[in-house]
Amino acid sequence: MAIPAIAPYPMPGPQELPANRVTWTPDPQRALLLIHDMQNYFVEAFPQNTAPISDAIARITELRETAWRLDVPVVYSAQPGGQTTSQRGLLQDFWGPGIGPGRHGQDIIPALTPGPSDIRLVKWRYSAFHRTELRDILTKTGRDQLIVTGVYAHIGCLMTVCEAFMGDVQAFLVSDAVADFSAEHHRMALKYAADRCATVLPALEIIEALARSDDSTPASEGPTQDHEPIAIESP
């Protein structure tokens, strides 16, 4: 029931990505960046310092730096440790007890330690929307686009972009800023998202699109939302 051992695999390149059915473009005035479950417990299942996780961390770092520069809100989802059987619900049947009660497993990896203005979200199920404040955060910050990064692509990341779509939020699944159990799972997540609920793009294209939109926006029309008061305690 535990997370399986994950073998290294190469990130899919731009030429390997599925065709998108929609032509949504990320906009720094509309987007929110989600860094999904990049906790030690989940990230340490990967062989370190090699693809895919090393690439994903590097791309997430670049996206986060761009978000900070362009005043795009950054939200971290993180599952709490030491959950009771009642709190785990059916997750217990599939994955066992999950993260233990110690801090290490619960913490975001050091390379992606949240900044002082980043929002921390306690997450309970696959989707980052389920039983969380993510919907309220989007509303309060005036955002209707969600850029999704993190782990695991075919589980929480995919469920989150699906739920974003069902709530009329344009979702972007970043092909090289997510990682998964295997190349096959990774490709499946990208294909389903592109076919049914999201735009799939590599990090470089997301960054370039955000920068272009920012350059074309008069300073008087820039983001004015102060999202710091929305910050939620991490688990």
Give residue 121's pLDDT: 97
Please give the Cα distance from 41 to 43 (Å, whole number).
Answer: 6
What is the pLDDT, as a whole number, of residue 42? Answer: 98
For the domain spanning 22-217, the CATH number is 3.40.50.850
Residue by residue, pLDDT tens for the chain (235 residues) are: 589 889 999 999 999 999 999 999 999 999 999 999 999 999 999 999 999 999 999 999 999 999 999 999 999 999 999 999 999 999 999 999 999 999 999 999 999 999 999 999 999 999 999 999 999 999 999 999 999 999 999 999 999 999 999 999 999 999 999 999 999 999 999 999 999 999 999 999 999 999 998 776 654 344 334 444 444 443 4
Q: Residue 213: how many CB atoms within 10 A of its CB?
A: 17
What HEC string does 60-110 produce? Answer: HHHHHHHHHHHCCCEEEEECCCCCCHHHHCCHHHHHCCCCCCCHHHHCECH
Task: Give which of 64, 56, 80, 71 is closest to 174, Cα–Cα.
Answer: 56
Q: How many residues are recorded in the chain?
A: 235
Q: What is the pLDDT at residue 229? A: 41
**What are the b/e assignments for 148-164, b being 16+ CB within 10 Å?**
bbbbbbbbbbbbbbbbb
Residue 230 has a pLDDT of: 47
C-beta separation of 173 from 198 below 8 A: yes
Interior angle at CA 140, CA 134 and CA 143, nearest 5 = 75
Catalytic site positions: 37
Phi-psi bin for 209: left (phi > 0), alpha (psi -120 to 50), beta? Answer: alpha
Q: Where are the domains of the chain?
A: 22-217
Q: What is the DSSP string of 130-149?
A: TTSSHHHHHHHTT--EEEEE
Quick check: 68 and 114 in contact, CB under 8 A? no
Helix (H) or strand (E) holding 53: helix 53-70
pTM (two decimals)? 0.92
